[in-house]
Chains A and B, each alone.
Chain A
Amino acid sequence: MKKILIKKMFRDLRINAVQFFAIFIMCHLAMLLLGAFDADNSGRLYSADRYYRETNFADLFLTSEGFSKEDIQDIRQIEGVKDAERRASVIGRVTNISDRKIELNFLESDNICRLYTEKGDPYTQGMSGIWIDRHFAEKQGIGIGDTLSISCKDATFSEIVRGFVDNSEHTNFIIDDTYLDTEYGEYCYAFLDASEYPFDDISFDKMLVDAANVDSQINLDDTDREELKKVKLSILDTVSKSSMSVIMKYEQSGYESQMSDCNFNNMMIMIFPPLFTMLAALSTVTTMSRLTAKQRTVIGTLKALGFSKKTVIFHYVSYSVFLSAIGCITGAALGHFVLGSWLFEDFIEYYSVPDSVLRMSYKVPLVAAMIIVLAVIANYLSCRNLLVQNAAVILMPEAPKAAGAGSIEKLKIWNKLSFATRWNLRDININKLRSLMGIFGVVICSSILMGAFGIQESIGYQDTWLYGDLKPAAYTITVSPDYGYSWAYDIAREYNGQLVMQTDAEITGRDDSRLFTLTVVDEGNLLRFHNTKGNYITLPDYGAMISEKAADTLGISVGDMVSFRLPGEKKEYSVNIAKIHKTPEAQGIVISRKYYESLHGEFDPKIIYTNMTPPDTLAVELKEVSGVNSREKYVAALKRNNASTAELVYVIVVIGIIIGFVAMYNTGVLSFAEKMRDVATLKVLGFPTNKIRWILQQQNLFITGVGTLIGIGVGLVLIRVLMNSLDPSGDFLVDLSATPYLLAILFSFVVSVAVNGIISTKVKSINMVEALQGVK
Chain B
Amino acid sequence: MNIQDKISLKVKNMPPSGIRKFFDVASEMGDAISLGVGEPDFDTPWHVREEAIYSLEQGKTVYSANAGLLTLREEICKYMKRRFDLTYNPKTETLVTVGGSEGIDVSLRTLLEAGEEVLIPEPSFVAYMPCTIFAGGVPVPIATKAENQFKLTADEIENAITDKSKLLILPYPNNPTGAIMEREELEKIAKVIIKNDLIVLSDEIYAELTYGINHVSIANIEGMYERTIILSGFSKAYAMTGWRLGYALGPPAVIQAMTKMHQYVLMCAPTTSQYGAISAMKNGDSDVREMRKAYDGRRKLMLDGFKKMGLSCFEPKGAFYVFPSIKETGMTSEEFCEALLKEEKVAVVPGNAFGSSGEGYIRCSYAYSIAELKEALVRIERFVSKILASKS
A complexed with B: no
Q: Which B residues are closer than 8 A to A by beta carbons?
A: none
